[in-house]
Structure 1
């Protein structure tokens, strides 16, 4: 019988058996030790600098695990369980990593003594079933509670999720905001993308507020913007994916003419096309015109003369949320611009938030949405506040969807 020859890439490390299992457990232990000190109300934040030189300060387990440049394949599974916990539950990302690490630590002596991994896996599965049964036994049902009691319970859940975060001192303020935000969404799906989070540097954390609608930063604007009205009652909104400005056609096409009159016809046609679009928008009855593409100075002046508000270069996410909240459709042509294609809201206003101007739509009839406007100091501080609120929002959503809560002992008691 010919001996089997296995051809592997040069530099391939091939190992198996007990030494490799021990190596895997040791690698996981190193990862656990990296995040262990972030756990709990007295946990410390980690300062992580990536290969681009960007600094991130966080004690969110999933964020730290994503930023750690882990090479060992076994240790990468811990990153995956942290990501899974973040997507499914939101909070507890550090806890699952440490719990997995502790289980491996307890199993390590059995591996060293030669116990087969399959026996250990069977024992862990049995232990997991016992743990789940015990948790179910301790759970408190929330189905039969009054709306006031349920709201208070949700607020406590949000506050608990924030107790180990950077914003734990303001958890009373933020827990109410988070509960109001989640309860404003459409049940039973509670779509996460309908909660917008905007960050404005400056001010104190307590200056953060909740908008019961859509809010986004004022986009780049042309001359004439100052003359446009900055608030409307019961306004109609046109949502466009159209460029409302004159373009130099020499960049897009080649036109050959043999006299000045022919050239003037080309120029007049460009202006005529633009004015036809603007006239159609005015005739539709829209008060507010939003577009994903630029709205130039001619269009801005045109709208200002007719007491209309416009904003170009609106980000895709904000445009989609405005559409879902206010109704209407994002149009690529003004030919079919009827009343049914317009969105509506009770109030539109542009107001100053810190050093920024914000466009705010409230009283949106079509879909339930809200926007959290966060205030604070440094950029890293605001980013960590956003991560903390994300965890709290996910926990409140999970509590509403599942009808049971398990209380835990406070570490401070």
Structure 2
């Protein structure tokens, strides 16, 4: 073999050895066993599936995770077999595209390979086996389509009932099984709000420790895990919202650690006064847009916060929250294909970075913005948004492990 093709010391497997290695690796993933031959992976399958405790040996804090989710287990397994990695990738794709069935996919693939191994031993050609599988898939899909029943168009009540039953089946193998009816209704109601859209980014999840799983609820509109500034309105009706990405502190000396030599302390005071005047002028230009809510993706320092309070403007800082990146990769502005954050999409606003031309700014609107309490935390709720399908599932639970498992409903 040419040295330029493979690295020195690399091994090569081909023919029967390569085939057997692939069988062994892939089946091992589907049939992970402990010393007493009880299958770890198989025993997570189905409504009677058991939870597993996973302890990380690579992290310094020895993180512990309680789960029976196949995708989570597979992500935690170190694999060096090529065929096994393919099986793990299949399970990951199933998790990303469907959100469920990862264990079923791995176990089914393992059983197919186990039977294929017997056929290979009987001298059946691999292409013949693959052709048989393709034929079986076509027949299975045909039977499923013939047996399918849809109430999507005729009876909305029956359609919702069907969806809840499907969701309960999925949740039967989750940690939330004891509250599966409650969570099934939450999930179905959230999806029905999308009105046929497949963009699940409009359904946001917020995890707040405390209470029980039963305390989880679906909030209409968008809930932002941030706090409103000090001394500012806690409730704004008929909100006109500016979403901005701008620095709200012109004091570059403190920010960047530069040094300035002055002849006297009076000069230092003059610099501070000049900075305040510059920031005050910027805040006034922002308020001149006719807004009553200002949301900035950067920090808002005390002085501009004080100015906004005097003008009756609700200010929310550091709104670069979880979920922005997910939607930024999928949603785009209709006229320019530029990325949007979820808050833009919900409110119908565009991010502003300059404020000299109010007539060019696209502001967001919603019927009500108010502060709510979830447990001991204060959150900001946006109701009556331009994007009517937006909603938030607020998850409650006794521990972070419970919340992490409950999050898998998304």
Q: Closer, same or farther in 2 for the Cα pair 1:193/1:58, shift >3 Å? A: same
- C-alpha contact (below 8 Å) 1:284/1:339 kept by paired residues: no
Residue in structure 1 matched with residue 279 of structure 2 by the alignment: 274
Higher relative contact order, chain-length normalized (CA < 8 Å, sep 6+): 1
Residue in structure 2 matched with residue 359 of structure 1 by the alignment: 380
TM-score between both structures, scaled by the size of structure 2: 0.86
Residue in structure 2 matched with residue 394 of structure 1 by the alignment: none
Residue in structure 1 matched with residue 346 of structure 2 by the alignment: 325
Give the C-alpha shift of residue 262 in structure 1.
6.6
Residue in structure 1 matched with residue 327 of structure 2 by the alignment: none
Residue in structure 2 matched with residue 196 of structure 1 by the alignment: 204
Give the C-alpha shift of residue 208 in structure 1.
0.8
Secondary structure at the counterpart of residue 141 of structure 1: coil
CA distance in 1, matches of 2:84, 2:323: 38
Residue in structure 2 matched with residue 23 of structure 1 by the alignment: 21
For 1:232-243, what aligned pairs fall within 5 Å after superposition? 232-243=236-247
- C-alpha contact (below 8 Å) 1:326/1:344 kept by paired residues: yes
TM-score between both structures, scaled by the size of structure 1: 0.85
Cα deviation 1:255-294 (Å, max 9, x = unaligned)? 6767777766544332222001111222323222111101
The answer to whether structure 1 residue 383 and structure 2 residue 383 are counterparts is no
Give the C-alpha shift of residue 143 in structure 1.
4.3
CA distance in 2, matches of 1:132, 1:27: 29
Give the C-alpha shift of residue 43 in structure 1.
0.4
- Tell me which of 303, 309, 329 is aligned to 1:304: 309
Give the C-alpha shift of residue 168 in structure 1.
1.3
Secondary structure at the counterpart of residue 208 of structure 2: strand
- Tell me which of 285, 290, 300 is aligned to 1:285: 290
- C-alpha contact (below 8 Å) 2:66/2:401 kept by paired residues: yes
Give the C-alpha shift of residue 87 in structure 1.
2.2
CA distance in 1, matches of 2:366, 2:323: 15
- Tell me which of 108, 123, 136 is aligned to 2:132: 123
- C-alpha contact (below 8 Å) 2:221/2:388 kept by paired residues: no
CA distance in 2, matches of 1:195, 1:104: 38
- C-alpha contact (below 8 Å) 1:38/1:44 kept by paired residues: yes
Residue range with higher mean Cα deviation, 96-105 or 226-235: 226-235
- C-alpha contact (below 8 Å) 2:232/2:313 kept by paired residues: yes
Give the C-alpha shift of residue 102 in structure 1.
0.5
CA distance in 2, matches of 1:182, 1:139: 21
- C-alpha contact (below 8 Å) 1:242/1:332 kept by paired residues: yes
Q: Closer, same or farther in 2 for the Cα pair 1:330/1:305, shift >3 Å? A: same
Aligned CA RMSD, in angstroms, stands at 2.3
The answer to whether structure 1 residue 46 and structure 2 residue 52 are counterparts is yes
Secondary structure at the counterpart of residue 333 of structure 1: coil
How many corresponding residue pairs?
Answer: 380
Cα deviation 1:125-162 (Å, max 9, x = unaligned)? 22222222222222223344211121111121111111
Residue in structure 2 matched with residue 335 of structure 1 by the alignment: 356
The answer to whether structure 1 residue 155 and structure 2 residue 164 are counterparts is yes
Give the C-alpha shift of residue 17 in structure 1.
2.1
Residue in structure 2 matched with residue 78 of structure 1 by the alignment: 87
Gaps (5+ residues) in structure 1?
Answer: 391-413
CA distance in 2, matches of 1:226, 1:263: 28
CA distance in 2, matches of 1:39, 1:259: 75
Give the C-alpha shift of residue 314 in structure 1.
1.2
Q: Closer, same or farther in 2 for the Cα pair 1:143/1:180, shift >3 Å? A: closer
Residue in structure 1 matched with residue 213 of structure 2 by the alignment: 205
Residue range with higher mean Cα deviation, 252-261 or 76-85: 252-261
Cα deviation 1:202-231 (Å, max 9, x = unaligned)? 001111111111112225x7xxx4422211
CA distance in 2, matches of 1:203, 1:288: 32
Give the C-alpha shift of residue 12 in structure 1.
2.3
Cα deviation 1:298-341 (Å, max 9, x = unaligned)? 11222223332212111255662221111221111222334952
- Tell me which of 96, 102, 121 is aligned to 1:87: 96
Give the C-alpha shift of residue 359 in structure 1.
0.7
Residue in structure 2 matched with residue 374 of structure 1 by the alignment: 395
Residue in structure 2 matched with residue 146 of structure 1 by the alignment: 155
Residue in structure 1 matched with residue 42 of structure 2 by the alignment: 36
